[in-house]
Structure 1
C-alpha cells in the first residue's frame, strides 16, 4: 500500500468516525428534545382541557385568543428548525415554551380563585355572623363540613366535570342552609357583628333588632353586659 493510499484510507476512516460521532450527538439531541416535547404536550393538553371545562365560567377569552396562539407560533418555529435539521437540539426552546404554558395555567387557576372567592365570601361572612343562632348551631356539623370543602376548592382547581359538579352541589347546599338568614335587616346584621365580637350595647338594640330577637329563640343566643 502506497503512502497516498494509506493517507486516503485514514481520511475515509476519520470521516466515518466523525459521522458516527455526529449521528451519536444527533441521537442524544433528538432524545433530549423528545423528552422536553412530551412535557410541553402534557401541559398544553391540560390547558386545553381547562379551557374547555371553564369556557362558560371564567374570563379566559384573552388566553384562548391571544396568549395560546402566541405560544403556538413559537412551537411551530421550533418544529421547523428541528424538521429541517437546522437545529436538532430544541431543549432550551421547548423549556421556554413549557414555562410560558405553565404561567398560563397559573392565570387560569388565579381566575378560578377569584371566581369562587367573590361568590363564597358573602356566605362565609354570613355563616360567621349567625353561627351562634339556635337554627345554625343545630346544623353546625353539616355547615362546617360544607364550608371546609368549599375552602379547599378555592385553592385546589377542579380538573374534571365531576369535580366541578361536586363543587356546585356543595355550594348550593351551603347556600340553601343559610338562605333563611341571607336577607337579614341591616340593623340586625350590625347587631350580630357587634354581638360576635363583644361590642354590642343597649344602643344597638333597635326596634328592628328587638322584633327579630322575639322570633323563635334568637334572644337566648346573646347576652349584653352592662359595665359601670
Structure 2
C-alpha cells in the first residue's frame, strides 16, 4: 500500500480572536495542514502544546500575561528532543521582540500582513526544518540588537567545546550561507556540513538554525557588517 503523508499539525496562538479565527480558518482549508489547537495567551499555549504536540506553532509575540517569547522558551524546553517549529507573528520585521524570540528558539518569523499563500508555504517550510527569512533580513535584525549581548546576565555557551571545523561551520552559518555554499567554500561534502552543524547544535544546546545565527553574532564569531570570506584554497574534499 502507498504511504500516506502526515498532515502538518499546527497550534495557533494569538490574543486577538478575529486574527486567531482567520488563521485557523485559513489553515484548516489548506490541504496537508491540520489545526490541532488554538490558544489566546502564552500560558494557554504552553498547556495546549504539551497536550497536542504540534509540529508548528504560530505564535503571537505581544500578549497579556505570559507573552510569546516566554511561551516559546517553555514550549521548546518541555518538548525535549523533538521540539515544534515556532514561527512568531509580528508587525515589524526589525523588532527586538523578534530578536528575543529567535534567541528563545523560534525558527523564524512572519509579518502579520503576510499573504495567505506565503503563510501556508512558510508553515510547510518550517515543518521541514528550514529557515524562513532571507539572510539580508535576519542579518539586519541581528546586527540591530546583537551588540546588547555583553550585558546579558545569562551569559553565552562556551565555544571552546567545538572543534575548529565546527567553529568554522557555525561562523559561515552565522554569515547566512546555506549548507551547499558552506560545502563549496570548505571543500567538503554537504552531508559533512550537516553532520558538523548537528554536532554544533547538540554541543551548544541549540534548537534551531536561527539560534545558531544569533549565537554566532553574540559570541563575536561573526562581527556585524562582516562580509562572506573568500575561498582560501582547495584541499582534498572531506567525506
TM over 0.5: no
Which structure dedicates a bigger proportion of its chain to strand?
2
- With CA pairs under 8 Å and 6+ residues apart, which has the higher RCO, 1 or 2? 1
Higher CA-based Rg: 1
Please give the range of the TM-score, normalised by the shorter of the 2 chains. under 0.3
| Structure number having the greater helix percentage | 1
The TM-score normalised by the length of structure 1 is: 0.25
